A and B are shown apart, each in its own frame.
Chain A
Amino acid sequence: MTVPAAPAGWRHRVMGRAVPLPVRRNAFVAAGGLIVLLFAAAAAFPRLFTHASPTALYVGPPLSPPSAAHWFGTDELGRDFFARVVYGARDSLVMSVLVVAIGALAGTAIGALAGFRGGAADEVLMRIVDLFLALPAFILALALSAFLGRGMASVVIALSIVWWPGYARQVRGMVLSTKHRLHVQGARALGASRWRIVRRHILPFTYGQLNTRVTQDLGFALVNVAGLSFLGVGAQPPASEWGLLLNAGRSYVTNGWWLTLFPGLAITVWTLGAALLGDGLAARLRGESQGRP
């Protein structure tokens, strides 16, 4: 008997699991991916982008506009602003990634538990989720950060707490709809443990949508992180986290427009890149779900 030949590029591995997604070139994914990669590189290897130091004072005349020597100009203390922004990427991105990672992992675990077990556990957990979703996220995060004290750690903790309910609800829904599928019944009939069933037979169905959401959230998380820093509860000087830079730049809007433009632009472009990448992934997912691949 002949077995059909696998079309080229048929499978790729996501999170170590074989995911049968067709590889399609997509302008969105390419653009978004490029932006994300670029920014991630800046966060990981700032030396690749600039040799200047973000903290060295008075390397140039303070408040000088962008020039060949200082691409983003200098700030009020004469620090090279390009270096400030590039090194700021590390703070901003690391905080955002941590928030999304913790939120997604915790949310997925809780959502899967609620969806799979059902009953009392489900009811209790979902009411908690409802509570969190009913309150305005940013305000809640702000209050929590203030309570926990200033600093990046508080921001990460506060935002993670606010972030997980969205994932929990989404994952719970997906688990509920996958729970009754035939292959899950087959796995139960085989005698697979509940943990195995959830891990191997239910969760993989959520990865596609989760990937999309996580990617888009990288952008939204950054906006929240920057917002909290802007308000003073996040990163503290002399760090050059973008929200912080925005706050510092406020006083110089007329004579130092670059001090607000570039951090703002960085936040915007990152969010855009993450959104494009997420949209591209979502489009691919939709293509897959329309009929059997």
Chain B
Amino acid sequence: MTEAGAPLLELRDVDKTFTPRRGLRNRPVQVRAVQGVSLALPEGQTFGLVGETGSGKSTVGRLALGLEQPTRGDVLVDGRPVATRSRADELRLRRRLQVIFQDPYESLNPYLTVRETLEEPFRVHRAYSKERTPAAIRELLDVVGLPASALDRSPQQFSGGQQQRIAIARALALRPALLVADEPTSALDVSIQAQILNLIMDIQREFRMAMLLISHNLLVVRHVSAEVGVMYGGRIVETGRSEEVYRSPLHPYTVALLSAIPQANPKKERARRRVKIPGEPPDPAALPPGCAFHARCWMAVDRCRTDRPALRAVRGHLVACHRAEEVTVPQVPAQPEGRR
């Protein structure tokens, strides 16, 4: 996954640990949200981060945006660290990165009109001009498919899909080089999800933006991103080109994840060989030693309990598993006929 020139976004062996206070006696707890994550995203490329609850994927998004500072390691944009010193540096950085969140309703200030929401990026970066900005804003609305009449309304008057379009328009205003999309469609109805995904794909291509897509759905990520990273317990456990990871997953967790996603095809569903894994994703405040997945893994051996596997190259992707070469779907039989 290396490329010439400084990548647009780079994370080098990043850790992020939170220490909130929990419990009756308010004892500080170590929440290891992200551990040892490295990734590099060149201009114009797409990368998807997949994981379930507690995997750390959202935290990686926030680290990339500079909304959180890493406990260890470096987060670099254009080769420069994200922890900026001066206001000018910060503004310069912010023009390059933008974000769309999962909950479009929450991500918009209900006290601003759509016009004010879209003007905000211009005003913050002192790029507002009475002559040019209104036209720019109308163009943004056009790109996301909203009518000009939307400008004087409050975001609350729109449906979820429309609100997300407003959020996307705002993110695009200053033509960022990198868009971080944190579960952009999870809170939307199914038919709207397709619309918004199409929109995101269109603008990514048209504006040649790099994109970091964070999602719990591997199918969406494969569809939209060229490369994917699967996260579990705060670490990236498998990463490579989306198509390859999808066709031949090498980490048992990836296999289990793919197996668990139900597809809208009844016959295929009945015939599938499925992996059943017990338990639940680990609590980042209480990670097990060794490989975080070992307790749920059908291929676990003694070594997995003590030795944390490092990411290594196997058959074209990087996997963090001692037994990656031998990964197979376990012999769980297809479901008996008559049962769904």
Contacts and interface: CB of A to CB of B under 8 A. Distances in A.
Interface of A: 1, 3-4, 6, 10-11, 17-20, 181-183, 185-193, 196, 200-201, 204-205, 292-293
B146 A189 contact: no
The 10 closest A-B CB pairs, nearest first, are A191-B94, A182-B106, A204-B111, A182-B107, A183-B109, A189-B99, A192-B124, A20-B154, A191-B91, A186-B107
Contacts of A1: 145-147, 162
Given A4-B157, A183-B106, A293-B156, A188 B91 contact: no
B125 A20 contact: no
B97 A192 contact: no
B90 interface: yes
A193 B98 CA distance: 16
B218 interface: no
Contacts of A188: 67
Interface string B90-112: 11011101110101011111111
A196 B157 CA distance: 25
A195 to B, nearest CB: 11
Contact of B124 (A11, A190, A293): A190
A143 to B, nearest CB: 38
Interface in B121-151: 121, 124-125, 145-147, 149-150
A10 B120 CA distance: 23
- Range class of the B interface residue count: 35 or more
Contact of B112 (A18, A192, A292, A293): A18
B65 A189 contact: yes
7 contacts: A1-B146, A1-B162, A3-B150, A181-B106, A182-B106, A187-B120, A192-B124
A196 B94 CA distance: 15
A191 B111 contact: no
B38 to A, nearest CB: 23
B113 interface: yes
B156 A4 contact: no
Pick from A18, A186, A292 the residue with the most CB of B within 10 Å: A186
Contacts of A293: 156
B153 A183 contact: no
Interface of B: 62, 65-67, 87, 90-91, 93-95, 97-99, 101, 103, 105-113, 120-121, 124-125, 145-147, 149-150, 153-154, 156-159, 162, 167, 170
A182 B125 contact: no
B150 A201 contact: no
A18 B154 contact: yes
Contacts of A186: 99, 101, 107-108, 167, 170
Contact of B103 (A11, A182, A193, A200): A182
A189 B124 contact: no
A3 B158 contact: yes
Nearest to A11: B154
Contact of A201 (B98, B106, B109, B113): B109
Contacts of A204: 109, 111
Contacts of B154: 10-11, 18, 20
Contacts of A19: 111
A188 B154 CA distance: 21
A189 B94 contact: yes
Contacts of A189: 65-67, 94, 97-99
A193 B124 CA distance: 8
A165 B87 CA distance: 33
Nearest to A191: B94
A204 B93 CA distance: 28
Most chain B C-beta atoms within 10 Å of own C-beta, residue among A1, A181, A292: A1
A3 B101 CA distance: 22
